[in-house]
Amino acid sequence: MTLHTPRLLVAASGPPRLQRARGIGRVTFRRAGDQTRLQDLVQDGSAKIRLPRVYDGRGPVAVLLNTAGGITGGDHLVYEAEWGDGARATVTAQAAERIYRRSEGVGRVENRLVVGAGAEAFWLPQETIVFDRAGLVRTLEVDLAADARFTGCEMVVMGRTAMGEEVTTLSLSDRWRIRRGGRLVYADALRFEGDTRAILSGGATGRGARAFASVVQAAPDAAERLDAVRGVLDEACERAGGRLEAGVSAFDGLLAVRLLGADGRALRDGIAPLMEHLIGGALPRVWAL
């Protein structure tokens, strides 16, 4: 008689497999008369979406949550949002996302946005805090109708700077792609491999910054805001007392802003007035919690 080892025993004899977070969240908005309403909501795994009541006149707010409490190697989250023709709504996050030290692999986050004709989309996640020996691959894909409007930001902070944490080993890839009417109009890629202190210490790479942000507004009249945005940034940098640097440019119906902060607090203090200027009002309430 031939003996066969049960599959269960074979699996159990190998190294233990660590549990990984998976999640998919999707929200769709549609225009109904003079209001924007929720059309579709899907949430699975650790990706959740909440819809608090808001009365600021800018339409509904969808708040993204990761119930896993953070991201590490092997985790995979997908968030999708769609604005139907003429819709106006905001997608934000409940709190800062944390990218923790990994034992192997990288965490993956895919963000996909579709903005219909005449719609206005606000993409306003809070900070991403990366810890030493973390790994993350993140993408933001935005498909805009020819006359759609989009305002979005992403912030990255190297560790909890108020606690003196340093990030000496990091693998980070952060990619943006924005298309208008099917044509690629904005492509940006950020990549860190190794010691971020050394990488960011160079005069052309960060001048010692520990926090940074990218902001893009895509709209037919985006270039008309250039001078006003420069004024907002000049005031923010002056208040920061040398702890914040910023620059802005406009081209092809796009307004692009970069900010460098000495720490997370300086970055947030600078980006808050900028975003309020670009969206025409106060930031979502979760930013103040």
Sign of the CA dihedral with 8 first, then 9, 14, and 20 last:
positive
CB 62 within 8 A of CB 54: no
- Give the helix/strand (H/E) hosting 258: strand 254-261
How many whole angstroms separate alpha carbon 27 and alpha carbon 61? 10
Residue 220 has pLDDT above 80, yes or no: yes
Sign of the CA dihedral with 265 first, then 81, 251, and 187 last:
positive
What pLDDT does 10 receive? 43
What pLDDT does 17 receive? 62
Under DSSP, the state recorded for 82 is E
Q: Is 40 exposed, middle or buried, given 0-12, 13-18 or 19+ CB atoms closer than 10 A?
A: exposed
The mean predicted confidence, pLDDT, of the chain is 92
Q: Give the pair of three-digit tokens for residue 35.
A: 């209001």
How many whole angstroms separate alpha carbon 273 and alpha carbon 283? 9
Residue 8 has pLDDT above 70, yes or no: no
CB 153 within 8 A of CB 215: yes
What pLDDT does 16 receive? 56
Flag the least confident range among 126-135, 153-162, 206-215, 243-252: 153-162
Under DSSP, the state recorded for 120 is E
Under DSSP, the state recorded for 71 is B
Q: Give the pair of three-digit tokens for residue 167.
A: 């990030």
- Give the helix/strand (H/E) hosting 156: strand 149-158
What pLDDT does 7 receive? 46
Residue 80 has pLDDT above 50, yes or no: yes
Cβ count within 10 A of residue 100: 19
Flag the least confident range among 11-15, 53-57, 115-119: 11-15
Residue 128 has pLDDT above 70, yes or no: yes
What pLDDT does 19 receive? 75
Percent of the chain with pLDDT over 90: 81
pLDDT band at 15 (very low <50, low <70, confident <90, very high): low
* Mean pLDDT on 181-199: 93
Q: Is 273 exposed, middle or buried, given 0-12, 13-18 or 19+ CB atoms closer than 10 A?
A: middle
pLDDT band at 1 (very low <50, low <70, confident <90, very high): very low
What pLDDT does 206 receive? 87
| pTM of the model as a whole | 0.92
Q: Among 152, 135, 165, which residue's Cα sits nearest to residue 70?
A: 135
